[in-house]
A and B are shown apart, each in its own frame.
Chain A
Amino acid sequence: MSAEAMTLFSPELAARFDALVERYPVRRSALIPMLLYAQDEVGYLSDAVIDEVARRIGITPLDVRNVATYYSMLRFVPAGRYNIQVCTNISCMLRGGYRIFEQFQERLGIGHKGVTADGVFSLEEVECIGACCWAPAIQVNYDFHDELTEEQVDAILDEYRSRSQKAGSR
């Protein structure tokens, strides 16, 4: 069983990984970015992903898990295709972050860390995302949406829903 034959990674991801590990003075330095990229591709860090990353870096799966569970962006269960992360930290809170969060909850019918039944959306209340001066702010996957108003919530949901449909029908 060669590593190639067993891989869960797409050829691009595998190539990215191979390039990454070689750049650092120590292979292991690639671990954290790699986990994030693998999660972007697979959706979450399944046991199989963890085993594969461990094997590619040359450390134990336990060691990978020790590290992965430390970082809050990494997850071990699937999220929705679009993960809505609402900041409610102080600067956002002062400008209505909680109201935005509530609105997403109402519209999607899910709470913190929930996933919609169709798997399109998931919702998370997150800590400061570095957009304090443009509060309230959210991130949908990696995209920022700044200076949100309550009216924009529906528009954002519609936009991603239609993107999802397009992606789904492809």
Chain B
Amino acid sequence: MPRLVSHPDEVKIVTRRFGMGASKIDRYLELDGYASARKALAEGSDWIINEMKASGLRGRGGAGFPTGMKWSFVPKQSAKPKYVLVNGDESEPGTCKDHLIFLHDPHAVIEGTIIAGLAIGAKMGFIYLRGEYRYLIENVERAVAEAYERGFLGRNIFGSETEFQVIVQSGAGAYEVGEESALMESLEGKRGVPRIKPPFPAVVGLYGGPTVINNAETIATVPHVLAMGGAAYAAVGSERNGGTRLFGLSGHIARPGVYELPMGYSLRKMIYEVGGGVRGGRKLKAVVPGGSSTPVLLPEEIDIGMDFDQVGKAGSMLGSGGVVVIDDQTCMVEFALRTIKFYQHESCGWCIPCREGTDWLKKSLTRFHAGFGTEKDIDNIQYLAENMMGRTFCPLGDAAAMPTLGFVKKFRKEFEDHLHGKPCPYAHHPEVELV
């Protein structure tokens, strides 16, 4: 059972019910569960969307797109049925927040899904979890069954004339399926290859119908937003970044765990106060601020507020909120290699720059780290990454190229050191296996 952590700076909104047995519906109801859904049902679509817009809630899946706005893009009239799709594929390395939500508060996800459905006029919602999360899938399925039993889901939700069905779907191991259009493909029983955009899912999505896709944390936040009121939620966070988010501290951090902190919270404080600093009193070498696809920040770059805009300004991304702390004994070439190895493994293979680029980078870095690199390799790695950026079919190519560029640019010296102190002057870990 994953450990829950706590810190006084936390503002517990989404995590409010964690550790309180709320995955059982009775307990959830005692803790004000489904009140927001009832209210949403009474107030109607326009009200929901206005509250969501006022909340400043931005998507927690990575891109940070304003949720209220996304919902408002769905056409009111549609010949085809509309759908809500909850993205619980959570596969970005460094990220395990949705894991806790599915474990401790599955009803919040269900309730959020109902609200999203009411907002856009959908009659069906899907909650897609990565296949590895089997015990969480079972937990969510059980919660869904409870909600059906109570009449919160089904033909007449909460005794109204409104229908809403929820299906829990299991993935089977594929990071790329987290990309929204690949997610729809997967849900349609196909290979997880993204779709050509436009059309965007809000217009042509699942089974060809207008579809809203949101991250599980985004959806779990929705009932709280409606309970607090959009404006009150917005006030918790920073400018244009409403509310809180779940930050996962991992790596060489003294007190790893998932913490709910207001948007804009200082990264330095997050590491040194909330997380208790670098493990074993070591020095900080680098931080990956938002999951493995976000470029690293150096120790001198951590005096920033953790919200989409400020991290973006610092040259990285807030991403999925997975903060990976790296100490001074880590080999950054190896870290780069392990990062790219992941993207090589997960590239769907559809487009040339991503398929070939990730493979090439992985092979070059493997050889380089094993002590067979040359000066020219460093430039080649940078050239490759630069030429993948912005050229791929979906953002996975960027997700591989961006951190790579960060590593080469910010740690070029470590790369050069590998040429002299062969094979690896920083080696503290067994070698990543050579292919």
Contact indicator B169/A33 (Cβ below 8 Å): yes
Closest beta carbon of chain B to A76's beta carbon, Å: 13
B342 at the interface (CB under 8 A from A): yes
Contact indicator B135/A70 (Cβ below 8 Å): no
B188 at the interface (CB under 8 A from A): yes
Contact indicator A142/B132 (Cβ below 8 Å): yes
Interface string of A79-117 (1 = CB under 8 A from B): 000000000111101110011001000000000100000
Asked, given contacts A90-B288, A90-B324, whether A29 binds B175 with beta carbons under 8 Å apart, the answer is no
Contact indicator B322/A89 (Cβ below 8 Å): no
Question: Interface residue count for B (Cβ, 8 Å)?
Answer: 62
**Which residues of chain A have C-beta atoms less than 8 A from B130's C-beta?**
130
Stretch at the interface among B41-49, B63-71, B227-235, B243-251: B243-251
**10-63 of chain A: CB within 8 A of chain B:** 23-26, 28-33, 35-36, 57
**Which residues of chain A have C-beta atoms less than 8 A from B175's C-beta?**
127
Asked, given contacts A72-B173, A73-B173, A89-B338, whether A130 binds B430 with beta carbons under 8 Å apart, the answer is no
**Which residues of chain A have C-beta atoms less than 8 A from B114's C-beta?**
none
Question: Interface residue count for A (Cβ, 8 Å)?
Answer: 47
Residue among B173, B322, B430 with the highest chain A CB neighbour number at 10 A: B173
* A108–B190 alpha-carbon span in the complex (Å): 36
Q: Which residue of A lies closest to B207 (CB)?
A: A25
B76 at the interface (CB under 8 A from A): no
Contact indicator B189/A28 (Cβ below 8 Å): yes
**Which residues of chain B have C-beta atoms less than 8 A from A147's C-beta?**
3
Q: Which residue of B lies closest to A39 (CB)?
A: B172
Closest beta carbon of chain A to B346's beta carbon, Å: 7
Q: Which residue of B lies closest to A111 (CB)?
A: B433
Asked, given contacts A71-B192, A102-B430, A133-B257, whether A91 binds B173 with beta carbons under 8 Å apart, the answer is no
**Which residues of chain A have C-beta atoms less than 8 A from B95's C-beta?**
128, 130, 132
**Which residues of chain B have C-beta atoms less than 8 A from A133's C-beta?**
2, 96, 248-250, 256-258
Stretch at the interface among B8-16, B86-94, B309-317, B386-394: B86-94
Binding site for A on B (CB under 8 A): 1-3, 81, 90-96, 98-99, 124, 130-135, 167, 169-175, 186-192, 207, 248-252, 256-258, 288, 292, 322, 324, 326-327, 330, 335, 338-339, 342, 345-346, 348, 429-430, 432-433
Q: Pull 17 A–B residue pairs with CB atoms less than 8 Å apart, ordered by A.
A: A25-B207, A29-B188, A32-B186, A33-B169, A72-B345, A73-B172, A88-B338, A90-B339, A91-B250, A93-B335, A98-B429, A127-B175, A132-B96, A133-B2, A135-B256, A139-B132, A147-B3
